[in-house]
């Protein structure tokens, strides 16, 4: 009896999924806005990476929200962990020579890689968030390899605030001089596929890269403090 | 603050090392000689190496010379051959029905002084399957060995470390 009921339920489920999938035309555009972005994105924003042109330009306001969410999360973590901060400095066991040396050797190279990712956000996959995460991973390496070393909280807060400020100021200037809306792309678009192109997109992605990198590094700093 | 002459030359050397390493990585990543890419790469490498070259000071990178470059290339080839040989050896031990392994930890000595030289030696030993560097303490390396051939420190040093160290000694002399 149970087997029959299960069979019945599964066939109902299968029928439901099949009809739902049948409704979706395979390979055809589902929304007009997607077609619009693909068709006009390159000439309107100058970015050869369509995803970036959507994230930073068409949907720049959403990205500002995302950056804010990350900012609030970092602040919240800081607020929760800072109340329980222990002031005294504990002796930490130094990392092994291999890790210590490797960390010193690789730290600048990882920073360069992160910078490469966020500078090329409008040309290649990746962008400010990904590049920022790579930059923060360099600081994870510092915390693993060079124990006892700390990033300065003031510096990370300053960089983070400057990143956010650049984003907003560039957007507001667009409101004033550009098409009259927030984050309009008013700078020259340049030649498609070259580094200096796509107007304000690279500037905003560099700002996001710095902001995300310093934010995540600050988060790691708080977590290290807590675990010590 | 006045600096002594050798210290200043060390700093300059490390700055140029870092600058050129960063620039080469940048060129490899962008794979383009377009002036825009190139100028941004130079600017970034300059900034990063100005700020961070003092991290490279303690690594003990040697001055560059033709002999050192030649030995570095030879070292890379030797390392590659050793990796292939060790892979085959470990594969044989895994496939063999009796599994002829004799795992254990041995201590080997090194005469290398610089941090980076010790790190390259340790990583070369780790990269060749069958041997694994657990830690470096002063001038001794703790090695986990899949088939301990000798518990004697000097003999173990000869078998595990010497094949890489003779090149590294020249490079970092």
The tokens describing B111, both together, are 């005469």
pLDDT band of residue A14 (cuts 50, 70, 90) is very high
Residue-wise pLDDT for A91-117, tens only, equals 667 778 888 888 888 888 898 898 888
pLDDT tens per residue, range B45-88: 888 888 887 777 777 777 777 888 888 898 899 899 989 988 99
What confidence category does residue A88 fall into, taking pLDDT thresholds of 50, 70 and 90? low
CB contact under 8 A, A112 and B45: yes
Q: Which of A102, A104, A112 lies closest to B25 in CB terms?
A: A112
Q: What angle do CA A82, A83, A85 make, to 5 degrees?
A: 60
A104 contacts B26? CB cut-off 8 A: no
Instruction: State pTM to two decimals.
Output: 0.79
- Domain encompassing residue A223: 2-227
| CB neighbour class for A190 (10 Å; exposed up to 12, middle 13-18, buried from 19) | middle
- DSSP lists the bridge partners of residue A11 as none
The first and second tokens of residue A180, run together, are 């009259």
What's the gap in Å between the CA of B54 and the closest CA on chain A? 10
Distances (CA, A) of A62 to A55, A119, B13, B169: 8, 20, 47, 57
Residues in chain A closer than 8 A to B48 (CB atoms): 108, 111-112
Q: Hey, of A46, A99, A101, which one would you mutate to test binding to chain B, going by the most B CBs within 10 A of its CB?
A: A101
Measured between CB atoms, does B110 come within 8 Å of chain A?
A: no
- 3-class DSSP assignment, residue A210: helix
Whether residue A68 lies within 8 A of chain B, CB to CB, comes out as no
Read off the tokens for A141.
Answer: 């390496």
From residue A153, give the alpha-carbon distance in Å to each of A85, A150, A160, B75.
Answer: 14, 9, 10, 43
Of B26, B36, B135, the CB nearest to A112: B26
Q: How far is B105 from A106, CA to CA, in rounded Å?
A: 29
Closest chain A residue by Cα to residue B119: A98
Residues 33-52 of B with CB under 8 A from A: 34, 36-37, 40, 44-45, 48-49, 52
CB of A102 within 8 Å of a chain B CB? The answer is yes
Closest CA to A115 of A96, A89, A133, A99: A133
- What's the number of domains chain A is made of? 1
Q: What is the pLDDT averaged over residues B99-108? A: 84
- Can you give the length of chain B in residues? 173
Task: Please give the ipTM for the structure prediction.
Answer: 0.80
Lowest mean pLDDT of A107-111, A147-151, B128-132, name the range: A147-151
CB pairs under 8 A between A and B: 66
> Among partner residues A96, A111, A120, which is closest to B136 by beta-carbon distance?
A96
């Amino acid at each position: 009896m149970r087997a029959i009921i299960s069979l019945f339920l599964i066939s109902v489920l299968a029928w439901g999924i099949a009809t739902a999938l049948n409704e979706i035309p395979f390979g055809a555009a589902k929304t007009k806005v997607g077609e619009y972005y693909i068709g006009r994105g390159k000439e309107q924003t100058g970015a050869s990476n369509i995803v970036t042109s959507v994230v930073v330009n068409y949907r720049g306001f959403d990205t500002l929200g995302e950056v804010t969410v990350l900012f609030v999360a970092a602040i919240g973590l800081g607020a929760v962990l800072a109340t329980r901060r222990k002031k005294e400095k504990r002796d930490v066991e130094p990392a092994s020579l291999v890790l210590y040396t490797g960390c010193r050797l690789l730290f600048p190279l990882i920073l360069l890689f992160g910078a490469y990712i966020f500078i090329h956000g409008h040309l290649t996959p990746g962008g400010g968030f990904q590049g920022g995460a790579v930059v923060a991973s360099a600081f994870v390496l510092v915390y693993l390899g060079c124990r006892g070393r700390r990033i300065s909280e003031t510096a990370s807060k300053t960089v983070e605030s400057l990143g956010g400020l650049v984003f907003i100021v560039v957007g507001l200037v667009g409101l004033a001089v550009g098409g009259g809306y927030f984050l309009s792309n008013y700078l020259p678009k340049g030649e498609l596929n070259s580094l200096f192109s796509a107007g304000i997109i690279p500037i905003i992605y560099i700002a996001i890269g710095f902001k995300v990198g310093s934010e995540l590094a600050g988060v790691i700093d708080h977590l290290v403090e807590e675990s010590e | 603050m006045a600096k002594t002459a050798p210290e200043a030359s060390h700093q300059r050397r490390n700055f140029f090392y870092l600058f050129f390493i960063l620039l080469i990585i940048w060129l490899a990543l962008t794979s383009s000689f377009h002036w825009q890419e190139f100028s941004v790469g130079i600017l970034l490498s300059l900034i990063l190496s100005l700020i961070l070259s003092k991290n490279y000071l303690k690594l003990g990178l040697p001055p560059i010379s033709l002999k050192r470059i030649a030995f570095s290339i030879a070292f890379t080839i030797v390392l590659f051959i050793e990796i292939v040989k060790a892979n085959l050896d470990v594969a044989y031990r895994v496939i063999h029905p009796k599994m002829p392994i004799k795992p254990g930890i041995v201590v080997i000595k090194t005469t290398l002084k610089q941090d980076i030289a010790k790190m390259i030696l340790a990583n070369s030993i780790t990269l060749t399957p069958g041997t694994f560097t657990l830690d470096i303490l002063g001038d001794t390396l703790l090695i986990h060995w899949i088939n301990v051939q000798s518990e004697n420190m000097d003999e173990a040093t000869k078998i595990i470390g010497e094949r890489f160290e003779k090149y590294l000694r020249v490079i970092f002399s």
